[in-house]
């Protein structure tokens, strides 16, 4: 259809050459980097994730590193989840909000040391934000982007592939915990994590010059398990109820509306950004919530670039923020960000480009 023109502003991943060799067929842009989207057969890539093992270039999950005496203080100022209990070697899902209590990113926070952290970020410029807040608050912390690029290995056979590379000790790594290690002289951090509910690991490459080497090590170790290239998989993440921050959320979406309230601790210190607003929002009670949508009609019709309005009895009640063909449910499914007056079981109407489509609301996850 078209190609993306290279420019120095658009940083390639260390795995870029490898993904081109694998036959990259489509890409998107995320954190001002190119992110592989698929390799030509979405359905085969989907079933490989569900039944086997898939490897994904997710270097776009860029790291914002905090180092120094006040690194932990800054992490807590940025994040309205209580981080006091995080241990060295532990990762935590750590939604970030602005001063209005609206979501701006949903990183995983890795605590590498008492005074060293990485925010592994979703698609927004948290390094600007972190630097500005640290300067305004006069904190003793250095903020940088380290040479770190995650490679995800996901699916029910991922653990066997990772164990065959690193050893059986990886089997006892707990969810979101990680260890720094190396393989063939390539420095990495290995974490049990990844943006799917099929299980797996992420290998954080710590030397960008070794991207193709690491890709080939995983590819070779995965051969007995029929590994193949893939990417963060919209059908699977939708079936599984994972949130895409910036996709399912906008500038006016708070964490309680998209099922992230369990990661917000209202008793974090008063200097945490957005906590005052979040306490008010929690006290007022939710106005909107996130539900699943099951669309009538058989043909695959994904959401393209924008949210689509949802109506009930002629009145706009919310937006469909995501819509994709589910290979397991064999229907179009999506997410509704919708008035709390609407509940699972209700029928609504979508005004789509193709015309009016009826849909029923359900609880998430679908599977
Ligand atoms: N891996 C790494 N960094 C990332 C992502 C990733 N940064 C951006 C983006 N993805 C962050 N978003 C999420 C969202 C959800 C989860 C992981 C990353 C997730 N959630 C589980 C759930 O919702 O069920 C568990 C969360 C919990 O209970 O702690 O896994 O993929 N490196």
Closest atom, ligand 1, to C-alpha of 240: 24
Ligand 1 atom closest to Cα of 122? 8
Would you state the pLDDT for residue 365? 98
CA distances from 248 to 104, 155, 319, 322 (A): 12, 24, 10, 7
User: Of 191, 208, 237, which closes a domain?
Assistant: 237
pLDDT of residue 301: 75
End position of a domain, from candidates 237, 267, 291: 237
Domain identity same for 244 and 226: no
What was the pLDDT predicted at 262? Answer: 98
Measured at the CA of 331, the angle between CA 326 and CA 337, to 5 degrees, comes to 80
**Would you state the pLDDT for residue 353?**
83
Q: Does 225 share its domain with 349?
A: no
Let me know if residue 309 belongs to a domain.
yes
Residue 251 belongs to some domain of the structure: yes
Instruction: Give the residue, by CA position, lying nearest to ligand 1 atom 1.
Output: 194
CA 249 to ligand 1 centroid distance, Å: 15
Distance 193 CA to ligand 1 centre (A): 7
- Examine the domain organization and report whether 180 and 296 are in the same domain: no
Contact 45, 228 (CB under 8 A): yes
Total number of domains constituting the chain: 2
CATH number of the domain at 228, please.
3.30.1360.120
In a domain, 331, yes or no: yes
Q: Tell the residue nearest (CA) to atom 16 of ligand 1.
A: 195
Domain span at residue 245 reads 238-362
Strand, coil or helix: 281: helix
Ligand 1 centroid–CA 2 distance in Å is: 31
Residue 4 within a domain: no
One domain, residues 351 and 261: yes
* H-state helical runs in the chain: 16-21, 42-51, 71-78, 126-136, 158-166, 211-222, 234-240, 275-284
166/50 same-domain check: yes
205 and 253 together in one domain: no
Q: Are residues 251 and 351 in the same domain?
A: yes
Same domain, 310 and 269: yes
Are 230 and 352 in the same domain? no
| Model confidence, pTM | 0.97
> What's the CATH code of the domain at 333?
2.40.30.110
255 and 102 Cβ atoms separated by less than 8 Å = no
d(CA 19, CA 5): 17
Q: Cα of 108 to ligand 1 centre, how many Å?
A: 6
Q: Is residue 86 part of a domain?
A: no
109 lies in some domain: no
**Is 276 found in the same domain as 227?**
no
Query: Counting atoms of ligand 1 from 1, which one is nearest the CA of 194?
Result: 31
pLDDT for residue 94: 98
Tell whether 311 and 172 lie within a shared domain: no
* Residue list, ligand 1 pocket, CB within 6 Å: 61, 93, 106-108, 120-122, 150, 193-195, 202, 242-243
Q: What is the distance in A from the centroid of ligand 1 to the CA of 197?
A: 10
Return the ∠ at Cα 345 (arms to 343 and 346), rounded to 5°.
65
Q: Indicate if 185 and 243 belong to the same structural domain.
A: no
Sequential pLDDT tens for the chain (367 residues): 678 888 999 999 999 999 999 999 999 999 999 999 999 999 999 999 999 999 999 999 999 999 999 999 999 999 999 999 999 999 999 999 999 999 999 999 999 999 999 999 999 999 999 999 999 999 999 999 999 999 999 999 999 999 999 999 999 999 999 999 999 999 999 999 999 999 999 999 999 999 999 999 999 999 999 999 999 999 999 999 999 999 999 999 999 999 999 999 999 999 999 999 999 999 999 899 999 999 998 777 777 789 999 999 999 999 999 999 999 999 999 999 999 999 999 999 998 888 899 999 999 999 9
Any domain includes 112 = no
In a domain, 133, yes or no: no
Domain boundary pick from 237, 271, 306: 237
């Amino acid at each position: 259809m078209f190609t993306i023109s290279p420019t120095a502003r658009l940083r390639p991943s260390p795995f870029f050459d490898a993904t081109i060799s694998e036959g990259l067929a489509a890409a998107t842009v995320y954190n001002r980097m190119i992110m592989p989207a698929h390799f030509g057969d979405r359905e085969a890539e989907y079933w490989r994730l569900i039944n086997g093992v898939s490897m994904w270039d997710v270097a776009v999950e860029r790291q914002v590193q905090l180092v120094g005496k006040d690194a932990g203080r800054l992490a807590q100022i940025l994040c309205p989840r209580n981080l006091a209990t995080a241990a060295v070697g532990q990762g935590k899902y750590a939604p970030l909000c602005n001063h209005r209590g609206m979501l701006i990113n949903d990183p995983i926070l890795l605590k590498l040391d008492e005074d060293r952290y990485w925010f592994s970020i979703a698609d927004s410029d948290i390094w600007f934000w972190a630097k500005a807040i640290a300067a305004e608050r006069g904190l003793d912390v250095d903020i940088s982007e380290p040479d770190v690029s995650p490679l995800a290995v996901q699916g029910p056979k991922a653990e066997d592939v990772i164990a065959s590379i690193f050893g059986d000790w990886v089997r006892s790594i707990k969810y979101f915990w990680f260890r720094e290690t190396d393989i063939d002289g390539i420095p990495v951090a290995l974490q049990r994590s990844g943006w799917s509910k099929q299980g797996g690991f992420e290998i954080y490459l710590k030397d960008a010059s070794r991207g193709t080497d690491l890709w080939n090590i995983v590819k070779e170790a995965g051969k007995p398990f029929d590994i193949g290239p893939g990417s963060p998989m919209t059908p699977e993440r939708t079936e599984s109820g994972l949130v895409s921050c910036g996709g399912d959320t906008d500038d006016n979406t708070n964490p309680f509306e998209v099922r992230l309230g369990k990661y917000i601790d209202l008793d974090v210190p008063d200097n945490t950004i957005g906590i005052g607003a979040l306490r008010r929002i929690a006290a007022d009670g939710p106005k909107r919530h996130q539900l699943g949508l099951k669309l009538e009609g058989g043909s695959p019709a994904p959401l393209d670039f924008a949210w689509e309005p949802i109506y009930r009895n002629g009145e706009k009640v919310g937006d469909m923020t995501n819509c994709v063909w589910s290979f397991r449910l064999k229907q179009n499914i999506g997410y509704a960000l919708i008035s709390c007056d609407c509940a699972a079981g209700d029928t609504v109407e979508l005004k789509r480009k193709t015309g009016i489509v009826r849909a029923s609301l359900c609880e998430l996850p679908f599977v």
